[in-house]
Every structure is written in C-alpha cells, then in structure tokens.
Structure 1
Amino acid sequence: MMLRTATRRDLPAVLALLADEERVVDPASVVPGPRHERAFAAIEADPRNEMLVLTSDSGADAALILGCVQLTYIPGLGQEGRERVLVEAVRVRADRRGEGLGARLMELVVDRARARDCGLVQLTSNKRRTAAHRFYERLGFTRSHEGFKLRL
C-alpha cells in the first residue's frame, strides 16, 4: 500500500468514499461541485493541510483508491509548542474493509505525525459509529474529551 497526496484527478474518488460509508460509489458518477473544487484547492495550497489517498502499489490496481484521510496540522502552545494533527475524513472502500487497510492507513498517518514532530494525533468520530470507536481504541487511541459542534 502507498499513501500519497491526493491530486485534483483523485477528487471524484475521494468524494465517492465520503458519499456513503456502507457501499461502493462509482467515482465516475461523482461530479465535484464548486465548493468541493474550492475546498480542494485550499487544501492543496495550505502547507498545514493534506488530503491523502491510500492506493495499491502494484499491478492493475495501482490507480485504485482504497482509502483517504485529511490531515490538518495545528500549531499551539500546548504539547510543548509542538503541532497536533487533526485527522478527518478517514474512509476505506466498503468492499475492502476487513483487510487491515484502515489500520495501515492510520499507521501511516501516525508515522507522518511523528516525522513532523507532532505531539498529538487527535480525531473525532460520530457517536453512532461504534465499530469505528472500537477500531480506534484497538489502535491505541483513548477517549479523552467530549466534542461539541455547531452547524452553520
């Protein structure tokens, strides 16, 4: 498996992963809208943001996107002044779950955070996603805070 920076060409595949967690959405059926285009351009231009894709590293599946994740590096005075990385939009193709891809994806995320000398990897997960919570706990993440959101 290879984790690489997403390109504009990957945007439909990423949006397909984000569209439905329970089934595979054909990337050819996804048309990015203007907001998606602006958001992707902003992520690409910001050195504190990364949209990454997990791909097979050989054979005919080389272009097949198996998963994605967005990382945002947040500077702060806590953690001895080290950045923290916020992990969002973690997805693995529905038909490829159970193969260890999610664990590998998160392992690569943690490796990136360590290489950047981050002091903390943090994420939130919808309270209804109990299987995801068990997954993150198996990887060593702990429930430490209660999150709040305000939709605008």
Structure 2
Amino acid sequence: MIRQATADDWKEISSLLDLLGYPNTGSFIKGNIEKLIAHPDEELMVYEYEGRVVACISLHYIPQLALPGDIACISYLVVDSTTRSTGIGREVEEYASQAAKKRNCDRIQVHCHSRRVDAHRFYNRQGFSESPKYFTKML
C-alpha cells in the first residue's frame, strides 16, 4: 500500500535512508518530514508491506518558465533490502509517474550517483534515459 508519509514514520524512513548511505538522520529527520509534507510542491510517500514501511519516495514538483510542462524530481527512492526485487520499487516509481502527470509534469527525473549501478539498471528498466551532465555546488 502506498500512502502519504507522516512524521510518525521517521524511524523507518531514517533506516531506509541509512541504506542509501545517509546515516545518523535520527536527530533531524522528523522535522524534515514535517517540512516536506507541509509544502505544496513536495510529496513524500511510503510503501507499507505486512504492517511496516519498506520503501519511500520523495518527489519535488518544479514549475518551468520556458517549457509547457513542469518537472517532477525524485530526490530519494529506496526499498528495504529484504523486499527488493519484488516489484515494490516499480510500483512506487509508477505511482510517482502518475502523480507527476496529474500535476501537469511532462517529465520526471532523478539524480542517481554513479556508484549506484543497480539503481541505474532499475531506472533504465522503468524507461528513464541518462542525461549528459549534472553539476552541484555545495553551499
């Protein structure tokens, strides 16, 4: 079952983020979750399986100036290692794509670090294509 995340999901979401290499989020994650779910251009969803949160996805909707449709960005998509390869990731991504279409987005994108080779295969299977460059400036 896919549903909107709540602040009460913070422990499970923190554990999932640990799998992505973001440890020690426990001291601030609850506040970040509250901020995300209160923002009109953000969507934080979780997937519950057998009574526990086993996946989450964070979507950001960005209005565009020079394009007719908006852009949806996946900032985090993670599935618990015990339930990977069961179709949950596919189901969550397809949910995100449908949510983006409802929000007038004509594309959905994700930044995925080069070290995440398994994730690259997943996104390719889901119909994503690689973009040439992504630049970051730390502030």
Matched, 1:44 2:37: yes
**1:145–1:31 Cα change, 3 Å:** closer
TM-score by length of 1: 0.83
Q: Can you list the C-alpha shifts for 1:75-94, whole angstroms capped at 9, x where unaligned? A: 112331x2211101100010
List alignment gaps of at least 5 residues for structure 2: none
Matched, 1:9 2:2: no
RMSD between aligned residues: 2.0
2:96 and 2:32 map into 1 onto residues whose CA distance is 21
2:88 aligned to which of 80, 101, 104: 101
Residue type of the partner of 1:69?
A: I
Please identify runs of 4+ aligned residues in structure 1 that moved more than 2 A: 35-38
How far off its partner does 1:104 sit? 1.0
Q: Which residue of 1 aligns with 2:128?
A: 141
SS in 1 for 2:57: strand
Matched, 1:113 2:100: yes
How far off its partner does 1:114 sit? 1.1
1:114 and 1:31 map into 2 onto residues whose CA distance is 31
State how many pairs are aligned.
Answer: 138
Q: Can you list the C-alpha shifts for 1:9-50, whole angstroms capped at 9, x where unaligned? A: 10110110001249xxxxxxx8831x3233222112211011
Residue type of the partner of 1:65?
A: V
Matched, 1:68 2:51: no
| Structure in which a larger fraction of residues adopt strand | 2
List alignment gaps of at least 5 residues for structure 1: 23-29
Please identify the structure whose Cα radius of gyration is greater: 1
SS in 1 for 2:105: coil
Q: Which residue of 2 aligns with 1:27?
A: none
1:134 and 1:31 map into 2 onto residues whose CA distance is 27
Q: Which residue of 2 aligns with 1:26?
A: none
TM-score by length of 2: 0.90
How far off its partner does 1:51 sit? 1.1
Q: Do the aligned partners of 1:67 and 1:93 also contact (CA within 8 Å) in 2?
A: yes
SS in 2 for 1:119: strand
1:79 and 1:12 map into 2 onto residues whose CA distance is 38
Once the two structures are aligned, what percentage of the paired residues are identical?
A: 28
Q: Do the aligned partners of 1:21 and 1:94 also contact (CA within 8 Å) in 2?
A: no
2:8 and 2:132 map into 1 onto residues whose CA distance is 36
